[in-house]
């Protein structure tokens, strides 16, 4: 990952802008993720922020699934914790504080969501190697990056790195004002 003070990281203080009705309309978590996530899966929401996707993923994986909501910033994890405290989702969502230069999740997962966060990572090569080690055989990673921060050339360069590591492109879903790729191990 990277240090918590990196200027590219979205600050906790503006996290409210990441969880609102306009975003829900433009980037509906159910619509974006339902085709790829099913009941019983273990899903890593990497760079979960205030839990915009984590909570919806927890509904999709059902009682037998699990979500690892991982973030570099304790403040973001505290926001997720406040949302799920006292609900049935509290048992499905495991909060995980990433280390400064690695995710640090030991558990194998079926699916990784990396929404608008890869461009914030300085050492993407190490991140991609770690993601490959975390994914179960046949596991998938869904990367969604903002067009405003990531050029087509940079996005393609990132995809080439992933393909060189053994990932295979399975889809390029359409997401409003975003560049996307779905890959499998």
Please give the Cα distance from 60 to 145 (Å, whole number). Answer: 22
For residue 23, what pLDDT is reported? Answer: 63
Please give the Cα distance from 119 to 89 (Å, whole number). Answer: 29
Which residues, at least 6 apart from 25, have a Cβ–Cβ distance to it below 8 Å? Answer: none
Please give the Cα distance from 133 to 183 (Å, whole number). Answer: 14
The domain segmentation of the chain, as residue ranges, is 12-184
The pTM score is 0.91
Helix (H, G, I), strand (E, B) or coil at 69: strand
Q: Which CATH number fits domain 12-184: 3.30.1390.10, 3.40.50.150, 3.40.50.1220, 3.40.630.30?
A: 3.40.50.150
**Average pLDDT per 10 consecutive residues for the chain, totaling 185 residues:** 52 62 76 96 96 96 98 95 96 95 95 95 95 97 96 97 98 95 97
């Amino acid at each position: 990952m990277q240090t918590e003070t990196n200027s590219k990281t979205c600050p906790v203080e503006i996290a409210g802008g990441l969880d609102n009705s306009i975003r829900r309309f433009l980037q509906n978590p159910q619509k974006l993720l339902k085709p790829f996530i099913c009941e019983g899966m273990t899903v890593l929401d990497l760079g979960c922020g205030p839990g915009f996707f984590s909570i919806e993923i927890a509904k999709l994986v059902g009682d037998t699934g699990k979500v690892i909501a991982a973030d570099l910033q304790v403040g973001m994890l505290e926001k997720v914790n406040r949302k799920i405290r006292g609900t049935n989702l509290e048992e499905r969502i495991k909060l995980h504080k990433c280390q400064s230069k690695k995710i640090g999740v030991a558990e194998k997962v079926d699916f990784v969501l990396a929404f608008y966060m890869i461009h914030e990572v300085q050492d993407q090569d190490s991140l991609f190697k770690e993601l490959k080690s975390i994914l179960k055989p046949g596991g998938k990673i869904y990367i969604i990056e903002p067009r405003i921060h990531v050029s087509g050339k940079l996005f393609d360069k990132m995809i080439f790195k992933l393909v060189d590591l053994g990932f295979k492109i399975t889809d390029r879903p359409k997401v409003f004002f975003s560049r996307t790729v779905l890959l499998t191990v």
